[in-house]
């Protein structure tokens, strides 16, 4: 079975049935199911998620991107400080990056105050963290390849000129 094709297919639609996957891959449902179990055991498939437009609900939801400057530790580099950060439930994503900062951390909370408290009381005091810069997300346009709030084709935007 073609594992890469399987992974690309479920990355696009995690709800696709094993039968449909088998058809796409010219395989049997049993082979696809076995392949998916193997990939999950090997931690190639790490989870399944749903993209939600929280603006369409009456739930408060705030997301922030936080640049984190950190000092590497001898023998483990940035891994130990990264683990101290990503263990917090408020952290939804974390990346080691190139550029001015070492990490980008995506944090979700109910309010700006909740996110600010996380940064000030939990993140900033971590040993190895030298500084942070927080950017609150004002609007999401596209998430995980999904356009979140596409404008209707028949609606024209007003042009504003100085």
Instruction: List the structure tokens of 91.
Output: 């952290």
Alpha-helical regions (H) of 52-111: 79-86
Q: How far apart are CA 125 and CA 159, in angstroms?
A: 46
pLDDT in tens, the chain (162 residues): 589 999 999 988 889 999 999 999 999 999 999 999 999 999 999 988 888 888 888 888 999 999 999 999 999 999 999 999 999 999 999 999 999 999 999 999 999 999 999 999 999 999 999 999 999 999 999 998 889 877 655 455 666 776
pTM, whole model, 2 decimals? 0.80
- Token pair 């990056």 is found at 97
Contact by Cβ (8 Å): 101, 69: yes
Cα angle, residue 22 at apex, residues 21 and 23 outer, rounded to 5°? 90
**Do both 29 and 64 map to the same domain?**
no
**Do both 32 and 87 map to the same domain?**
no
What local confidence, expressed as pLDDT, does residue 154 receive?
Answer: 43
**Does residue 85 sit within a domain?**
yes
What is the extent of the structural domain holding 36?
3-41
**Does residue 107 sit within a domain?**
yes
Counting the structural domains of the chain, the total is: 2
């Amino acid at each position: 079975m073609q594992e890469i094709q399987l992974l690309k297919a479920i990355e696009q639609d995690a709800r696709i049935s094993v039968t449909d996957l088998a058809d796409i891959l010219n395989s049997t449902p049993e082979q696809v199911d076995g392949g998916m179990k193997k990939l999950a055991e090997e931690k190639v498939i790490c989870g399944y998620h749903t993209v939600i437009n929280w603006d369409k609900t009456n739930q408060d939801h705030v997301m922030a991107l936080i640049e984190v400057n950190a000092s590497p530790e001898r023998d483990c580099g940035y891994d130990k400080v990264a683990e101290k950060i990503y263990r917090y439930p408020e952290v939804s994503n974390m990346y080691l990056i190139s550029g001015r900062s070492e990490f980008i951390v995506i944090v979700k909370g109910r309010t700006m105050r909740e996110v600010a408290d996380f940064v000030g009381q939990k993140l900033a005091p971590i040993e190895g963290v030298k500084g942070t810069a927080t950017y609150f997300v004002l609007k999401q346009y596209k998430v995980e390849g999904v356009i979140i709030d596409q404008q209707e084709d028949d609606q024209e935007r007003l042009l504003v000129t100085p």
